[in-house]
Structure 1
Amino acid sequence: MAQKVERFCSPGKGNGLRAVSSLKAGELLFSAEAFASSVSKRVMKYTCENCLSRKDKLLRCSQCKISRYCDASCQKRSWPEHREECRRLKRLHPTVPTDSVRLVAKILSKLVNRSHGPAEELYSLEELESHLSEMSEEKKSELEDLGVALRLFLKEEADDLSLLPPGLDPISIIAKVSPIPSLS
Structure 2
Amino acid sequence: MGWKKGSVIMKAEPFAHVIMQKYREDRCNFCLASSDTLKKCASCKKTWYCGVPCQKKDWKLHKMECPVMKRVPDTPTDSMRLFLRLVIRHMNGASSVNQEKDEKPCFRCFNDLMSHADKITSDRTRNSLFEVAHDFLRAYTHGLLSLPPSSVLLDIFGKMVINTFTIADESLQDVAVGIYNSPSILDHRCYPNAVASFEGRTVTVRAVTDIDSDSYEEVFLSYVDPLATIAERQEQLQQQYYFRCTCSRCSSDHIEKMMCSVEGGTEGDLAKVKACLDKVESMQKAQESSEKILETCDKCLSEITLPSTNVHLVRLIGKGFDAAIESQEFEKAFYLGIKNLKPYQTLHPAFSPCVGYMYANLGKLLLFLGKLHEAEMHLIKGLEIFSVSLGGSHFLVHQVQELLHQCQAELKES
The reply to whether TM is greater than 0.5 is: yes
Segments of 5+ residues of structure 1 without an aligned counterpart are 1-20
Work out the CA distance in 2 between the residues paired with 1:59 and 1:143. Answer: 33
Work out the CA distance in 1 between the residues paired with 2:112 and 2:144. Answer: 21
Structure of greater Rg = 2
The superposition leaves residues 50-109 of structure 1 with CA deviations (integer Å, 9 ceiling, x where unpaired) of: 1111234411111111100111222122222211111111222x4222222211221112
The superposition leaves residues 92-140 of structure 1 with CA deviations (integer Å, 9 ceiling, x where unpaired) of: 2x42222222112211122122122325823634531336426532431
Asked if 1:82 is matched to 2:65, the reply is: no
Aligned to 2:157: 174
Work out the CA distance in 2 between the residues paired with 1:76 and 1:136. Answer: 40
Report the CA distance shift for 1:140/1:22 in structure 2 as closer, same or farther (over 3 A).
closer
Asked if 1:130 is matched to 2:141, the reply is: no
1:59-74 paired onto structure 2 within 5 Å:
59-74=39-54
Q: Which amino acid aligns with 1:95?
A: D
Q: Going by fraction, where is helix more abundant, 1 or 2?
A: 2
Work out the CA distance in 2 between the residues paired with 1:99 and 1:81. Answer: 16
Segments of 5+ residues of structure 2 without an aligned counterpart are 101-105, 165-235, 243-414
Work out the CA distance in 2 between the residues paired with 1:68 and 1:142. Answer: 27
Query: What RMSD, in angstroms, separates the aligned Cα atoms of the two structures?
Result: 2.9
Does structure 1 conserve the Cα–Cα contact (< 8 Å) formed by 2:40 and 2:49?
Answer: yes
Work out the CA distance in 2 between the residues paired with 1:158 and 1:77. Answer: 21
Q: Secondary structure at the match of 2:155?
A: helix
Higher RCO (Cα < 8 Å, 6 or more apart): 1
TM-score, length of structure 1 as denominator length: 0.71
Q: Which amino acid aligns with 2:92?
A: N
Report the CA distance shift for 1:143/1:99 in structure 2 as closer, same or farther (over 3 A).
same
Q: Which amino acid aligns with 2:98?
A: G
TM-score, length of structure 2 as denominator length: 0.34
Work out the CA distance in 1 between the residues paired with 2:53 and 2:125. Answer: 44
Does structure 1 conserve the Cα–Cα contact (< 8 Å) formed by 2:61 and 2:89?
Answer: no
1:95-134 paired onto structure 2 within 5 Å:
95-115=74-94, 116-119=97-100, 121-122=107-108, 124-130=110-116, 132-133=118-119
The superposition leaves residues 128-184 of structure 1 with CA deviations (integer Å, 9 ceiling, x where unpaired) of: 13364265324312321121112223223553414x9xxx52133223313796369
Work out the CA distance in 1 between the residues paired with 2:145 and 2:52. Answer: 31
Farther-moved stretch of structure 1 (28-37 vs 114-123)? 114-123
> How many aligned positions are there?
159
Aligned to 1:6: none
Work out the CA distance in 1 between the residues paired with 2:61 and 2:91. Answer: 14
